[in-house]
Structure 1
Amino acid sequence: MKQIGLLFFCLLSILFASCEREYTPPPLTEPTYTGKFANTTIKQLRERYAKITNPELIADEVIIRGVVTGNDESGNIYKQIYLQDETGAINIGVDQNAIYGSYQVGQEVFVNLKDLYILKYGDELQIGLAKSQANRISWEVFKEKAQMNSWPKPQDLKPLPVTLDKLTDDMVHRLVEIKGVRFVNGGKNAFTTNDVTTNEEIKNKDGRILIVRSSNFSDFAKDILPQGEGSLYGILGRFNGTWQLILRTKRDVLEFDGKAPEVVQPSAGTFFKETFGNGTYPSGNRPKINDFKDFDMKAPVQYREDAQVADIRSISGGYGAHIWLPANRDATVRISGINTKDKGAVTLSYELTANLYDAGAKANLNQIQVKVNGVLMNVDSKEISNAAGDNGKFYKVTIPGIPQGDNVVLEFVSSAALNQVGFRLDNIQLEGTAGKGGETIIVEKK
């Protein structure tokens, strides 16, 4: 029996040996795009549709060319890809899972946008298909519209180095590198908690904060945030004015040193000062707040006045650049993205004057109301009048007790019911001290 079994084993071995051959995969054909050349850059596309409010059909043949910088490989990006060229970046919603199997990072793609839609989500542009599921393009349509060219070249992708104090509109959706940051909850929290998409903060040495947003469906969702200082790659996003970073995979987390942060003592002194530039803005050249580019404080600080009533101007008679709040109009100047953390007791100050040309004109400085994080602040009554010589006289208003936070929002509210003369607003400052705040102070500016 043993001999028969041995003989049977040998026959099987010979049979399998004779049948076994070296496997040769079928040849793959390098994708080659043969369609029309790109006729629009991503920057031109974004500029063309910058002011849309509703989804808009792209009726003409607009062709863009770009490289895939982000996909759903880790699950942190869901049903979309990010595309960028030399001028800018945009994301495209696609109703498909595992897009990364076809459209890999580094893949050059030509996209014909005709009959697709461009829309805004979180006030940022993206490509999609209106009235479909979450405005996403069907997989069949997307493959037809987005034609690949050549093999992916991920090694050629160079993330744009950025710093948290110099984030600009043209960086939205770009692949970036941020150096010298630490996770506020490094070594403590996971990337996500409670099985929901989670925002965790990173901070640089100047105390500036950026959100890192991670999905609970990502394959690194339960990994602990790295401790110490390091660098990150990722897609730089913005949602309703708030900047955020989206990691593509865990590989975007680079070389954190594991060291505990230094203890930060409250800092004193002025850390926010807005003078509205050093230029002059004569009649006929008075930019609206949303169009103005010369603010002293840069991103992540954002300025808005959606009624398009207030403007930046300067006139003769000693008025430098300032905000003009016209009479009998509703206007709210909103300043967001202000970081007051680790500044001790924070005090707000600003300068205000009223147009009191007529002999009987009078007003009150508290007619320009101030809100901080949506809460109305107390401003003491201070009546001013032409008779008292207050026409064009600036007063400094000081408000203590500004809260701590990485995204404090200031609002200067001018209502038609209260502002009936016109006010000029200038020199907005925030100062941190180690002391305690007092009461509102209004003093004449000398």
Structure 2
Amino acid sequence: MFKRFCSQAFGTINVAVGFFSLAAIVVGAITVFGSAGLLCLDKAGVKTIPEKRIQQTLQLGMGFTLLGSVGFVSATVAAACIASISGALDEEESVTSSYTNSVVFELSESTPTQDNTDSLYLYQIMRITGCRHLDNKLIVGRVEDESSRKVVVYDLLDSDSQDSLMELFDLGYDEDKLISKAFSSQNPNPNHAIREFVDFYRPQLEFKSSCEEFSSFNLETCVGCRNFHGADKIVCGIHPYGWEQDDNCPDWQSNQRRQKVYFPFEREEVISQLNCSIQPNQVSLLKNDDGTLTLWDDYTNRRFQFLWSGVLLDDFDKLLELDEYARLLDYIQYFSVRTVIEFDYSLKVDEFAQQLQGIATVKISDSGINVRVNYCPKLNIHIERQYRFRFDGIPLYPYESIVPQSLKYNYNLGTLVEWLKVNQARVRL
């Protein structure tokens, strides 16, 4: 903000200097031409004012012209400098986010940081479009929330780190697949953080390059384990060819000399433990490479998104039964004890049809119950919409765009029928 203020103030002063310089050039030019005319008249014998006075006026005009020219050139150079400074400041700015807050990009070298072992940062690989200084360049950055904006502290991703990450995430040679990949680090500097992250996996990466049988799954399973050998194509003494089961290796032991701090729900072994308590109730927790977790409810076809820290993401689904600030463990607890009571709504189709007479049609199909309406947002446009449900009232497609916003977190056959009855002025057959 201070840089922007200084740039604007300097620009205002520069405009004033340029204006006065142009005025000096004009006044000087008029004086020079006028004095030259008087000299010509004096040479022709027409006496006006003393010749000495004319000479002084001519010199004064030439001085004004020279001074104005110097000022104008200086103002032009200064304007170019201001444009360069403004361009550098624009590098820190980007378009507004989905919220009203702005997103600002700042190089790590311009952001004061302090090493704090109590902090854990989530870094992501990004490619920014619409910002001329970052367009089509891969960067590694972390987001800091401020009161009126979001700040992305970033560094450009160098080619060595890019190659290591593509091998680590098993992405082949497509650098676009790196976008949104995430990792955690306690280092506040993006460049240092990514080097530490790659170095942590270095023993497994080197072994993977020499042993084709060592897969990316083995790489994630063995990283940080004190039993890892990684020579002569031997993974470790306990599992010479690596752990081959889908679950986590039971013999994994932390290497005290190569430790890494993780988010509470970043490790696959933690995810597996949580799944043991919720999978019997048709719910599963999946870890994503972009720093998020997906809690998938197979029974209701709903999904809930969390950060690796366990914080629920605002833009996604949530349970109204839980507190607004409920975190991942609250959802795990809810689903681990959930009791599903199924009800056959096909027995109530006739009742629903009578309640929605003149508003919608309710019919039974082979796949479930269909509710069809003609939606009239402006009372003169008829748009046919069909809402589809299972026989137990659960929507087949809970995230369709036609779902009323007021039912975003509580959408089922019963709530839709009530919504149609209340909003019958907006729908008709």
The TM tier, using the shorter chain, reads under 0.3
Q: Which has the higher helix share?
A: 2
TM-score between the two structures when normalised by the length of structure 2:
0.25
Q: Which has the higher strand share?
A: 1
Report the structure number with the largest CA radius of gyration. 2
